Structure 1
């Protein structure tokens, strides 16, 4: 037995490497796109109450899952979700003038909690580190 197999580790495990330059740029782009979708969703969800809320959550979910599929891993869902959360948290803070974007209604709370739940679901459903291809044989 090899020493890697004695500890219960997989022989296929590889150490983590730094992401490449294009991948970092893609994650930064997804982060910024998540911030834009969060700000747009904050405006839409209050405008047309049940339809706007569903549209804002569907847009966020589509971005999170699409980012995971495009990047080929969970990081593609985490990057836009982080941008979405930063934008939404910054928009919920009240300013010294007393203005704020979110009202104290049930729609605002559903947008905040629903968006976070969708982000977790999409990051969980994101593609793992399994090889994909027609000639890959798993389990042997």
Structure 2
């Protein structure tokens, strides 16, 4: 006599990974820590979850830098460096910018008003 094992479709479904939902892809921004290093030199530490790549957390730091420049009465910032890490699903960036009232020299400059407006449009929080 041959035995046939019957497996319920519900039992098979229980073994499958859960189907992703929209909330699985919406970043959670965990906050910004700002530290004035010297005059116009500012460090931003930001953290978030559900980033797809390092560029997402770098953009979060840029948004924070732009808003900070506006708060301080400046219109521009220049990116100096960003270090990005990811551990246990939490992405963090340690970024340093200079802020200035006029467009600084260099290639990595940002117009603070334009950047803050773009951040708001895309839902990235600022300081």
TM-score, reference length from structure 1 = 0.29
Question: Could you tell me the TM-score, scaled by structure 2's length?
Answer: 0.31
Q: Which has the larger radius of gyration?
A: 2
